Structure 1
Amino acid sequence: MRFAPGVRRFAVPAFAAAAVLSVLAPPLAVLALAVGAFVVWFFRDPERRPSGPGVVSPADGRVSVVREEGDQFRVGVFMNVTDVHVNRAPLDGRVERVTHRPGKHLPAFSKESERNERVDVDVATDDGPAELSFIAGAFARRIHPYVDAGDDLARAQRTGHIDFGSRADVLLPPAYDREDLLVEVGDTVRAGESIIAAKAR
């Protein structure tokens, strides 16, 4: 099993504490061991393949946003603590900008989360401009993009992860309209696998 970068930063202290506490306070050692095991599980990074043609989900979780913004549509996916938190490229393209925007740390499933800390990745595609956004949540404090300006993106490749809860959005290229959307709010999706939009024509 592959793991997201940073797993050692959280897991090693928990396992070290478990080793020490196994002598000093065995019940607490069990708790520390459980914390370490949870961290390792949280940072899991399974292989994914698209289930068909079209735009794939940028994240595991539940679709929490589907809305029109000008001539484009935004699809947002809320990642619960039980979801894989490694994000994927929704479509092929080239990274034009990666912009960090400081902000609040409100629950990522709420409307107010638009004011949260985030990293926006502007992507040029054959169908026009798109954007991938990593949005921090109430407990997320570190956003880790894996891409930089000038990088080529392949659909479903790993693009980043967020520590402990968050949301990932994709602003679809203008070539996609309402009838091309394949998901609605409440649907469960998997990063790099579930198809969230495909051209109907």
Structure 2
Amino acid sequence: MRIHREGLATILLTFVVLTLINVAVTFFLRENFPLLARIIAAVSLALFLFIISFFRIPARAMKQGESLVIAPCDGKVVVIEETYEPEYFKDKRLQVSIFMSPANVHVNRNPISGQVKLSQYHSGKYLVAWHPKSSTENERHTVVIGNDKAEVLVRQIAGALARRIVNYLKPGMQVKQNEELGFIKFGSRVDIYLPVGTPVSVEMNQVVRAGQTVIATI
């Protein structure tokens, strides 16, 4: 396991702030309120370990296949439905949405290999990630990757807590399946749009893992 580069500044800042708090607590409270000082120290340690775990990148054996659409993120499947996609395709698509909790690994990966056709950031609201309108009204970043078999749209969506979307792709880039697409800080959601009729390999409420779980077969 290693720590993602997106977390280095956050981890350092958290360490400095918690250290200052605990130095102050030790100076002012330890003598008269030793139990409170120990509780604050324990909570600080737990918080620091949680921040580190949030930015973890576990070692994984990635699954690959030119006909496979691999999960772009860790989380739970919350939507599988046909819907109208208004930004790029402007027609009906099969939508699969994955909700990412704060405890999930938050690296986002390319579901297929191909050329980046679109990479577009949109500012917006911060509705809870499971809100029906979060796909079109929240802060988000849309990417379309295309190859000889299909074009797949991946949309990173910010939520009530996640207010920092990072995306590494630019139009025209050639990308490989399972390479890093981006990062969403502190929980949110990723939508995938596939051609209607694409056989889906996941079910509602299924837990999936980026780079390993097959979402669909093109």
Asked if these proteins are the same fold (TM beyond 0.5), I'd say yes
CA distance in 2 between counterparts of 1:51 and 1:123 reads 18
Counterpart of 1:65 (choices 68, 74, 79) is 79
Please show how residues 11-30 of structure 1 align to structure 2 within 5 Å. 11-26=11-26, 27=37, 28-30=40-42
Check if 1:39 corresponds to 2:51. yes
Deviation at 1:34, TM superposition (A): 2.5
What is the aligned partner in structure 1 of residue 31 from structure 2? none
Deviation at 1:74, TM superposition (A): 1.5
Check if 1:156 corresponds to 2:178. yes
Counterpart of 2:144 (choices 122, 132, 147) is 122
Identity percentage of aligned residues: 35
* Aligned AA (1:2): R
* Aligned AA (2:7): V
CA distance in 2 between counterparts of 1:188 and 1:121 reads 23
Contact 1:52-1:195 within 8 A present in 2 as well: no
Structure 2 unaligned regions, length at least 5: 27-36, 84-90
SS in 2 for 1:111: coil
CA distance in 2 between counterparts of 1:144 and 1:48 reads 22
Provide Cα deviations, 1:60-90, integer angstroms capped at 9, x if missing partner. 0100111113453111100011111101111
Q: TM-score of the superposition, structure 1-length normalised?
A: 0.89
SS in 2 for 1:130: strand
SS in 2 for 1:123: strand
* Aligned AA (2:163): R
SS in 2 for 1:25: helix
Provide Cα deviations, 1:23-62, integer angstroms capped at 9, x if missing partner. 3214334433332221111011123334464111111010
Q: TM-score of the superposition, structure 2-length normalised?
A: 0.82
* Aligned AA (1:77): I
CA distance in 2 between counterparts of 1:60 and 1:48 reads 12
CA distance in 2 between counterparts of 1:47 and 1:62 reads 20
Check if 1:138 corresponds to 2:166. no
What is the aligned partner in structure 2 of residue 77 from structure 1? 98
Number of positions where the alignment pairs a residue of Structure 1 with one of Structure 2: 196
Contact 1:48-1:156 within 8 A present in 2 as well: no
Look at both structures and tell me which one has the larger radius of gyration over its CA atoms.
Answer: 2
- Greater Cα shift, 25-34 or 158-167: 25-34
> RMSD of the alignment, in Å?
1.8
Check if 1:177 corresponds to 2:189. no
- Greater Cα shift, 30-39 or 144-153: 30-39
